[in-house]
Amino acid sequence: MLTISKSDVLELLRDLIRIPSVNPTLVPEEGHNEVKIAEFAVDWLKKHKVDARIEFVEPGRPNVFAEVGDGDGPTLCLCAHLDTVGTEGMEIDPFDPRVEGNRVYGRGSCDMKAGVAAIMSTAASLAASGSIKGKVILALVCDEEYSSIGADHFVLHHKADACILTEPSDLKMVIAHRGFLWGKVTSMGRSAHGSRWDLGESAITRMGKVIVGLDDFDKNVLRNRSEDLVGPASMHVGLISGGVGISTYAPECQIHIERRTIPSENISNIKSEIEKVVQNVAEGSQVDWYFHRNPFSCNPNELIVRNLTESFERLLGREPERVGWGFWTDAAIFQQAGIPTVNIGASGFGLHEPVEWVDFESVIMNTNILIDTATTFLREKRIIAEV
């Protein structure tokens, strides 16, 4: 179990919160990135006898890679992201980690510097034990809050037999979540003077029909397409722009749509059915797909799921609740890379909100679960490999 003191873990968490690591793509005006927190993590891990280094994904955007163990055998990856969302509108000092009872306040306290602290404390405890047969690697990644360039880079350069993420989950085991698809729809009109009803055709009016058609499709088709753990598929219009002036018929209008996907769906079919809806109400409109992330689903019979379940039972005396999420995480990237992945994290409140806090006792329990699961997984994976 945990070999460093609870007070050391608390100070680690507070130190992490003190270092601003706001995602610079999301909030460039706040003037931060993940460099300082990555440097701190490497220094702390090295002081605790864990090999660690920075791997830059691009300038100013670092991952931290670390490893502990003898390297002779299976590999388990522990993953958390270093970046946070912005601080505008916060009702607490975002970088002053105030402690009240079991609660630790601050931006990123829950999402997800608690998870980072749990993973780093796990690595330090395993290094101190000196009995790890196999290897535990740490993926402390950048940019999860925007496009996950950190996780993409990590799985291209490192392999593992399984992965545990520590996104805050109230100590529930997450084995599935939805994906998403982003697209831009463009409708064309005919520009003309506002008085020339006989010549002009408004692209905005045409787009109105598209919006109504997509909304009808969302409510009457997608909401009936559901899976037990993650709920229904869904779609919404997130952005709209169009027109050149109030006295001119709009020559062009654009909307950006987000389609939330479920594990059983096929991305080609998803695109085709949306394009059909658009063409049925506004023929000649253009749909451009520019970004997507796959949904995530881990087989509940995977060894890492069984081992985590057993560790949870040993420590808490009951089975963990297995759940799915509607939102997306880096788990999908690791699973897509062929690495069986599961998520378990601390309890807290206020993700992306004006007040954010994490329950510190759940951070300690999460850490002990990680230590026990890592030890069990590496031992059992080795035995299976040798049979």
**127-144 tens-digit pLDDT:** 998 878 899 999 999 999
Percent of the chain with pLDDT over 90: 94
**CA 326 → CA 177, 251, 267, 275, 376, distances in Å?**
6, 37, 17, 24, 30
Q: Assess whether pLDDT exceeds 70 at residue 387.
A: no
**CA 169 → CA 82, 226, 342, distances in Å?**
17, 22, 11
Q: Which helix (H) or strand (E) holds 7?
A: helix 6-18
Using the CB atoms, write b or e for 189-215: b if 16+ within 10 Å.
Answer: bebbeeeeeeebebbbebbbebbebbe
Q: At what angle do helices 114-129 and 360-386 cross, to 10 degrees?
A: 50
Determine how many CB atoms are found less than 10 A away from the CB of residue 98. Answer: 14
Each residue's pLDDT tens digit, 114-124? 999 999 999 99
Give the pLDDT confidence score for residue 133 in this predicted structure.
86
- Please check whether residue 257 is in contact with residue 302, taking contact to mean a CB–CB distance below 8 angstroms: no
**CA 374 → CA 10, 77, 129, 164, distances in Å?**
22, 9, 13, 9
CA pair distance 201, 252, nearest whole angstrom: 10
The values of phi and psi at residue 77, to 5°, are -100, 135
Q: Assess whether pLDDT exceeds 90 at residue 1.
A: no
CA pair distance 370, 376, nearest whole angstrom: 10
Give the pLDDT confidence score for residue 105 in this predicted structure.
98
Pairing assessment for the beta strands 162-165 and 75-81 based on DSSP bridges: parallel
Of the candidates 253, 243, 163, 239, which has an alpha carbon nearest to the alpha carbon of residue 208? 253
- Please check whether residue 227 is in contact with residue 263, taking contact to mean a CB–CB distance below 8 angstroms: yes
Each residue's pLDDT tens digit, 13-22? 999 999 999 9
CA pair distance 173, 313, nearest whole angstrom: 12
Give the pLDDT confidence score for residue 132 in this predicted structure.
81
Q: Assess whether pLDDT exceeds 90 at residue 82.
A: yes
The per-residue DSSP string of 253-287 comes to EEEEEEEEE-TT--HHHHHHHHHHHHHHHSTT-EE
- Please check whether residue 81 is in contact with residue 145, taking contact to mean a CB–CB distance below 8 angstroms: yes
**CA 44 → CA 34, 40, 47, 356, 380, distances in Å?**
15, 6, 5, 25, 30
Instruction: Map 279-329 to HEC letters.
Output: HHHCCCCEEEEEEEECCEECCCCCHHHHHHHHHHHHHHCCCCCEEEECCCC
- Please check whether residue 110 is in contact with residue 86, taking contact to mean a CB–CB distance below 8 angstroms: no
Question: How many Cα atoms occupy the beta-carbon half-sphere of 11 within 13 Å?
Answer: 6
Q: What share of the chain is helix, strand, coil (3-state, %, to 5)?
A: 35, 25, 35
Give the pLDDT confidence score for residue 71 in this predicted structure.
79
Please give the residue that has the higher pLDDT: either 73 or 324.
324
Give the pLDDT confidence score for residue 227 in this predicted structure.
96
Q: Which domains does the chain have, with CATH numbers?
A: 6-177+295-386 (3.40.630.10), 179-293 (3.30.70.360)
Place of tokens 């029909």: 209
Please give the residue that has the higher pLDDT: either 286 or 386.
286
CA pair distance 366, 115, nearest whole angstrom: 8
Handedness of CA 365, 371, 372, 373 (dihedral sign): positive
End-to-end CA distance of the chain: 28
The per-residue DSSP string of 197-251 comes to TTT-B-HHHHHHHHHHHHHHHHHHTGGG-EETTTEE-EEEEEEEEE-S-TTB--S
Of the candidates 212, 219, 203, 210, which has an alpha carbon nearest to the alpha carbon of residue 281? 210
CA pair distance 118, 138, nearest whole angstrom: 11
Using omega within 30 degrees of 0 as the cis cutoff, is the peptide bond preceding 112 cis?
yes
Q: Which helix (H) or strand (E) holds 54?
A: strand 51-58
